[in-house]
Structure 1
Amino acid sequence: MWLKMYILFTIITSLVCYLILKWMKKRRYCTDLKRLDGNTVLITGGNAGIGKETAVALAMRGARVIIACRDVDKAEKAVREIKIRGHNVNVHHMELDLANMCSIRDFCKTFLQREKRLDILINNAAMPSVLDWTEDNFSMCFGVNHLGHFLLTNLLLGHLKASAPSRVVTLTCSNYKYQKLDFQDLNYNLLPFFTYCRSKLANIYFSQELDRMMEGKGVTAYAVHPGYVQSSWTYHYSILFRMLMQVIMFMFFVPCEMGAQTVVYCAVSDEAAKHSGGYFTDCRPATLRSFARDAGVAKKLWEASERLVNLA
């Protein structure tokens, strides 16, 4: 009798846990079927994770897709996969190291010479919470996640405006809410998690200020939280941590394909275009904490970033 009750309890508990986990991982899919024939899309970090799934989705719509990343071998392998899955041979890669300002400038110079247009720029690449420094002595998170994309976007703005209507989609994270910016120490690099949070908050301010600066010029901007995704970001950490996170990600995080849906939505949806400068998650606009909507802080960060990257 007790054995039967125990078995029944175990089955019911397991079923309830399964349904709860399934509900937690439920996400909307981008249902907009807009084609992108003739459009050029640039995706940073498009060789893996959300970036690669975004590249596949946009390649399937007929876009010319260029993935930019520092590892040429991984990029070549990713391009072959994207071509097959996206049924599109117009997929290419270019070398770019967002942790090196010289690399970004060289990349942009080459891109502007080779490419006639840029319709969609997706600032996807990111560094997780690591205590490290870029080639230019910026903290790795702030240098790559914000300053690298800030310089890249500004150097490509001419093509974006010439290709209008065009879009800039920058990936952020809901972790932004745990920190505020300190303009006395933007290069903060003491507690890795807080450094990451600040860089993701900077992504949000960047999108807001970019939208304000591009008003009436045909360039729209979006900050996207893709959800917590089963990506390869843990490779920066120890084997034990990776093993633990694999279990957690399997249980609670969503696949990369699902995480890419809001990115694709902001890249193609006419409905999203009505909320330029906004913060999106789960294929719809979301509300930010009040401090993350401060236009004065966004402008101040933009001006500080210009000085840090020597942008005349």
Structure 2
Amino acid sequence: MYLLYTIAASLISFLFLKWLKRRRFCMDLKRLDGKTVLITGGNAGVGKETAIALAIRGARVIIACRDTERSEKAVREIKRTSHNVNVIQMELDLANLRAIREFCKTFLQREKRLDILINNAGMPSVLDWTDDSFSMCFGVNHLGHFLLTNLLLGRLKESAPSRVITLTCSAYKYQKLDFQDLNYNLFPFFTYCRSKLANIYFTQELARMMEGKGVTAYSVHPGYMQSNWTCHYSILFRVVMQAIMFMFFVTCEVGAQTVVYCAVADEVVPHSGGYFLDCRHAALRPFAKDSGVAKKLWEASERLVKLI
């Protein structure tokens, strides 16, 4: 009898955990024929699932990644799954500002439209540095996408109405920005949190600057997902995290739903600059809605990437 109770309790606990992992799905099946979508880091995880979902809707999908071999494999899989042959890859290293400029130059020469830019690629909390001596998290997660978006902004305006979607994380709430040390890299997790907060401020200021110009912007927390982000860590850490992710984290397909929602749904347009999760507009902590900080970060970022 004790064994039966144990099995029943385990089953109930497992089903409860599965219930906790339920997330909303994007039910908007709007077609994107004739639209061009650029997704950074679209060769794996939530980026790849987003690419599949938008390719199914008929978009021309470009995945921009550093690893060409993995990208080519992902393109084949996306084409096969979506039955859309209009999917390509381009090489992009977000940890190198010169490489970003070269990428944008090539993109603008090849592509006449850019309807949806999805700043998806990101680095977890690792103690490392970019080629330009920025902390890896801040350099890739914020500065790399900041420069990329600015260099492609003209094409986005020409293709209006267009959208910029930047992936962030609810971990933003654990840190605030220090303008005396934006390149902070002492505790990797704190650096990650700050980079995700920077994504939110970036989205807000971009939305303010593009008001009335046909470009809207959204920051998205896709949820905590069963992705390959643990590849940057030790084997022991990966094993432990795989077990935790199986129990508590959502699949990348589910995580992509809010990104897809912000890419296609009409009801998000009035919420440009907003923060989204579970396919809905969500509230932010008060300090993350400071327009003065958002403007200050934008100006500091312009200097750091030498846009001014």
Decide whether the 8 Å contact of 2:34 with 2:58 is kept in 1. Answer: yes
Check if 1:123 corresponds to 2:124.
no
Displacement after TM superposition at 1:253 (Å):
0.4
Residue identity matched to 2:25: Y
Q: Aligned equivalents of 1:288 and 1:184: distance in 2?
A: 24
RMSD value over aligned CA atoms?
A: 0.6
TM-score by length of 2: 0.99
Displacement after TM superposition at 1:14 (Å):
1.2
Counterpart selection for 2:270 from 240, 255, 274 = 274
Counterpart selection for 1:215 from 196, 211, 214 = 211
Q: Aligned equivalents of 1:309 and 1:281: distance in 2?
A: 30
Decide whether the 8 Å contact of 2:18 with 2:247 is kept in 1. Answer: no
Q: Aligned equivalents of 1:118 and 1:8: distance in 2?
A: 58
Check if 1:156 corresponds to 2:149.
no
Q: Aligned equivalents of 2:112 and 2:179: distance in 1?
A: 38
- Equivalences for 1:97-116 in 2 at 5 Å? 97-116=93-112
1:170 alignment partner, SS class: strand
Q: Aligned equivalents of 1:86 and 1:136: distance in 2?
A: 37
- Structure 1: runs of 5 or more not aligned: none
Q: CA deviation digits over 1:22-74, x for unaligned, max 9? A: 12101000000110000000000000000000000000000000000010000
Query: Aligned residue for 1:181?
Result: 177
Check if 1:167 corresponds to 2:159.
no
Residue identity matched to 1:27: R
Moved more, 76-85 or 270-279: 270-279
1:274 alignment partner, SS class: helix
Query: Aligned residue for 2:6?
Result: 10
- Equivalences for 1:293-304 in 2 at 5 Å? 293-304=289-300
Displacement after TM superposition at 1:11 (Å):
2.6
- Equivalences for 1:183-202 in 2 at 5 Å? 183-202=179-198
Displacement after TM superposition at 1:15 (Å):
2.5
- Equivalences for 1:67-86 in 2 at 5 Å? 67-86=63-82
TM-score by length of 1: 0.98
Q: CA deviation digits over 1:204-229, x for unaligned, max 9? A: 00000000000000000000000000
Q: Aligned equivalents of 1:94 and 1:84: distance in 2?
A: 19
Q: State the number of aligned residues.
A: 308
Query: Aligned residue for 2:48?
Result: 52
Q: CA deviation digits over 1:81-104, x for unaligned, max 9? A: 000101100000000000000000
Residue identity matched to 1:117: R
Counterpart selection for 1:225 from 207, 221, 234 = 221
Decide whether the 8 Å contact of 2:184 with 2:191 is kept in 1. Answer: yes
Q: Aligned equivalents of 1:11 and 1:238: distance in 2?
A: 33
Q: CA deviation digits over 1:204-257, x for unaligned, max 9? A: 000000000000000000000000000100000000000100000011000100
Residue identity matched to 2:123: M
Check if 1:133 corresponds to 2:129.
yes
Residue identity matched to 2:278: D
Q: Aligned equivalents of 1:202 and 1:192: distance in 2?
A: 15
Residue identity matched to 1:142: F
Decide whether the 8 Å contact of 2:62 with 2:89 is kept in 1. Answer: yes
Counterpart selection for 2:238 from 225, 239, 242 = 242
Counterpart selection for 1:43 from 34, 39, 42 = 39
Counterpart selection for 2:279 from 283, 286, 300 = 283
Residue identity matched to 1:209: E
Check if 1:203 corresponds to 2:203.
no
Query: Aligned residue for 1:145?
Result: 141
Q: CA deviation digits over 1:271-300, x for unaligned, max 9? A: 111211100000001110000000000000
Displacement after TM superposition at 1:12 (Å):
2.7
2:147 alignment partner, SS class: helix
Runs of 4+ residues over 4 Å off in structure 1: none
Displacement after TM superposition at 1:7 (Å):
2.0
- Tell me the percent identity: 80
Q: Aligned equivalents of 1:23 and 1:58: distance in 2?
A: 27
Residue identity matched to 1:34: K
